[in-house]
Structure 1
Amino acid sequence: MKPEQHPQETERLRELRRYGILDTDREQAFDEIVELAALLCEAPVSVVNFIDKDRQWFKAETGLGVRSTPLETSLCGHVILQDEFVEIPDTLADVRMADNPLCTSDPGFRFYAGAVLKGSHGLPLGTLCVLDHQPRVLSDLQRKVITALSHQVMRELDLRQALEREQMLRREIDHRVKNSLASIGSLFSMKARTAPDENVRIALEDASMRIRSLSSLHAELHDLEEGQSVDLESLFRRVCMDLEQLLPEGVSLSADVRGGRASPHLANGLLLIVNEFVSNSVKHGLTETGGRIEFVITTEEDQWSIVCKDNGSADTKDAALAASASGLGTRVINSLASSLGASLDWRASGHGMELRLASLAEA
């Protein structure tokens, strides 16, 4: 006998799909649940299954060897229309299953016991069940085991759903933060162009540069999963494009990234170092006729280094002043070097400034 549809079949299927569990790969967490159910209930077969529109699909199974069966032969399709726990001592004595080929074949399933898996809205999605080839009954302890394990299945699914909602919210917040940073950076840049006071203009351009750099980093971090590293080449391609819009006419910026990836902490530090160096070069090192700023980043396993250069007019006195960290930008770089555990070296000989930082193991 084919199972009847649930009275709220449309809503039930909608809730099932909301969990996003159908057609996913096997997972140890669910495999262990069915193995434990089979062991404690002394049953040859145990499954975690979900009742789809026209099939019964198994998230986990032991002793069965298939991932889905037609709905026409589903035992659990009948069970989800009943109570939270169903035990059928002899399936051939049940009118719903007496003609089911899964029960009448040799060896057929002559015993069934299962707990209904209910979604957060109380609608039945499937079951955790055990099956045997002989008629029998479970002990009270075994019934409690199946019920407890079924609750564990749904707790796992509900937790995943909660995490997915949290990730969606985070992505939405990240998107808004990214747009806000870009808008603020553009606003500062526009204000700088119309500022009547030179000091105000420089301050606004400096702020715009920092915000745009942070926006570039945020864009790279936006889609990273926990534990992933940052693609430095992609990050500094963004950084250069953003900073070039703010550089004075005739000043060029180039980046050479060797190695590829870094932790978010290191990527953030490198970004801020580049940002401060560019800002200082524009304000103090490059002439009004233009110039060039370039930096080389190298990463290899746990080692890294960065070399920033400009071709301005900085000399040994300027290098000494930078090394003393008397200005805001050089203080920031000094602090970053300390937090990253890096050596720091300022050099200049009248043809531009050079800054070298390297992880201490490489220095």
Structure 2
Amino acid sequence: MHYAEDTKELEETPLDISHRYDVVGTAPAPAFDEIVRLATAICDAPIAAINFVNDDHRCIQAVTGLPDGDGADPAGICALVSPADTIMVIPDLIADERFRDYLRAHPENSVRFYAATSLVAPDGGHVGTLCVLDWRPRDLTKRQRSLLKVLASRVITELELRRSLAAQRLARRDAEQLLAEKDRLLEQNHMLMQEVDHRVKNSLQMVSSMLRLQAHQLSSIEGTRALEQAQRRIASVAAAHEQLYRASGSDMVDMSVFLDGICKALAAHRPSNIDGIEVQAEPIVLGSKRAMKTGMLVAELVMNGLKHAYPAGRHGSIRVELRSAGPIARLSVSDDGVGLPSDFLVEGGKGLGMRLIRSIVEQFEGKITVEPGPSARFVVDIPKGGASTE
């Protein structure tokens, strides 16, 4: 540790002032008062002060040992600062020409001894001094000098704590503003989604109505059936859209609710010889994109059953089941109708419905099989997640 006691050295050494803290705006604190009291006790000095400086101002932050109205001027004395990592000790101010004017102004009530250690910020810049004063000439012991440096470090620790708390308050305020903005944007997004949902539903209903009216005007049975099938597809898309909208608060969809809603929409447009569409689905959760594709797959398989399972006035129902099988969601769509042709192959189906079914299954890397029996039963294994989550 270097003790700076040479007057010329102190006068000629420029100080690097730290701008890390707003020292002029620093409010008084009990911690600073405690430090100056400790300084007087350690150094056996009647007066101690913490002096902050910046480019334009100097201020006494805390002082002890001077009653109100005392004629001494510690601020003027404490303006004398030392370079970083030094302790300035002036055993007798009367012997130092820098203080002769001060002593002449206060001949009967003036301090004679001054010692100060620099307050150095982590950036290496000067913050001020921690000083002790006495009414008589004297010196500090080596231990007192060392402990004075410790107290100076305590001042910097307090300033760093205040700086950290101020940064936390600023960060908390910014976070609160961001959260408020997020809530505003979410509400705006919700309103936009409602508007889009309303427009999409109206558009789908308009298309469905137009197809239904056109089907009633056609004299061709094949044309009527084609339009009715297209109308059912539109209904399935509308149902899937509505179910996804209801689940818009999350990217994950409960398939039991989702499939129930789709099948209810399809059942509303079923032929009169179809008794109903039964749904038994476990509450398996899938991502929204995969759920949408699964819904379209169910719609195509159900429409396939509505079209082919019960011809010539036969009655029956369509069953949709979804069960969990480890990493697989196993979907089955079945009926008690006339069954599939003996030469039927999933891979060979050329109709639009079967082409859509194969395309959807390939997209989520699933597997489709047809189980043997007097009726039709399609089984699709759908991966719940993995490499392909679309």
TM-score by length of 2: 0.51
Larger CA Rg, structure 1 vs 2: 2
User: Equivalences for 1:191-206 in 2 at 5 Å?
Assistant: 191-195=210-214, 196-197=217-218, 198-199=223-224, 201-202=227-228, 204-206=230-232
Q: Does 1:87 align with 2:26?
A: yes
Secondary structure in 2 matching 1:298: strand
- Distance in structure 2 (CA, Å) of the matches to 1:202 and 1:244: 13
Q: Does 2:254 align with 1:231?
A: yes
The DSSP-based 3-state class of the residue aligned with 2:26 is: strand
Distance 1:137 1:315, change over 3 A: closer
Q: 1:73 maps to what in 2? A: none
Does residue 300 of structure 2 align to residue 281 of structure 1?
no
Aligned to 1:316: 341
CA deviation profile, 1:174-218 (whole Å, cap 9, x unmatched):
322333333233323322332123346325413422322322332
Contact 1:185 1:207 in 2 (8 A): no
Identify the match of residue 236 of structure 2 among 201, 205, 210. Answer: 210
Corresponding letter in the other structure for 1:294: R
Task: Give the Cα separation in 1 of the matches to 2:340 and 2:229.
Answer: 25
Q: Give the match for residue 319 of structure 2.
A: 294
In 1, Cα distance between equivalents of 2:174 and 2:383 = 47
Picking from 147, 170, 191, the partner of 2:189 is 170
Q: 2:368 aligns with which of 340, 344, 359?
A: 344
Secondary structure of residue in 2 paired with 1:249: coil
CA RMSD of aligned residues (A): 3.5
Instruction: Check the 8 A contact 1:230/1:262 in 2, yes or no.
Output: yes
Matched, 1:152 2:171: yes
Distance 1:359 1:205, change over 3 A: closer
SS class of match (1:319): coil
- Rounded to whole Å, the distance in 1 between the matches of 2:295 and 2:343 is 23
User: Quick one: which amino acid aligns to residue 284 of structure 1?
Assistant: H
Distance 1:295 1:145, change over 3 A: same
Task: Summarize the Cα distance change of 1:217–1:304 in structure 2 as closer, same or farther, 3 Å threshold.
Answer: same
Q: What is the one-letter code of the residue matched to 1:293?
A: I
Cα distance in 1 for partners of 2:347, 2:248 equals 35
Change (3 A) 1:319 1:354: farther
Mapped contact 1:312–1:353 kept (Cα < 8 A): yes
AA aligned to 1:342 is: G
- Cα contact 1:315–1:348 (8 A) shared by 2: no
Unaligned runs of 5+ in 2: 1-20, 31-153, 385-390
SS of structure 1 residue aligned to 2:344: helix
| Structure 1 gap segments, 5+ residues each | 1-40, 42-82, 92-134
Which of 245, 261, 272 lines up with 2:296 in the alignment? 272
Aligned to 1:75: none
Deviation at 1:144, TM superposition (A): 4.4
Counterpart Cα distance in 2 of 1:89 and 1:194: 83
Report the secondary structure of 1:88's partner residue.
Answer: coil
Deviations 1:126-160 (A, max 9, x none): xxxxxxxxx97877655544443333222222222
| Counterpart secondary structure, 1:316 | coil
| 1:262 equivalent in alignment to 2:262 | no
Q: Is the CA contact (8 Å cut-off) linking 1:296 and 1:308 kept in structure 2? A: yes
> Is the counterpart of residue 353 in structure 1 residue 372 in structure 2?
no
Q: Distance in 2 between matches of 1:145 and 1:234?
A: 50
How far off is 1:231 after superposition? 1.8
Equivalent AA in structure 2 for residue 176 of structure 1: E
1:248 equivalent in alignment to 2:271: yes
Q: After the TM superposition, which of the residue ranges 214-223 and 330-339 deviates more from structure 2?
A: 214-223
Q: Counterpart amino acid of 1:185? A: L
Inter-partner Cα distance in structure 1 for 2:257 and 2:383:
26
- CA gap of 1:319–1:165, structure 2 versus 1, over 3 A, is farther
Distance 1:162 1:86, change over 3 A: same
* Cα deviation, residue 161, structure 1: 1.9
Tell me if structure 2 keeps the 8 A contact 1:220–1:230.
Answer: no
| Cα contact 1:295–1:306 (8 A) shared by 2 | yes
- 1:277 aligns to what SS in structure 2? helix
Cα distance between partner residues in 1 of 2:371 and 2:183: 50
Structure-2 change in CA distance of 1:352 and 1:180 (3 Å): farther
Assess if the C-alpha contact under 8 Å between 1:259 and 1:300 holds in 2.
no
CA distance in 2, matches of 1:285, 1:210: 19
Cα distance change of structure 1 residues 248 and 318 upon mapping to structure 2, 3 Å threshold: farther
Q: What's the TM-score once normalised by structure 1's chain length?
A: 0.55
Change (3 A) 1:244 1:206: closer
Contact kept in structure 2, 1:319 and 1:347, CA below 8 Å: no
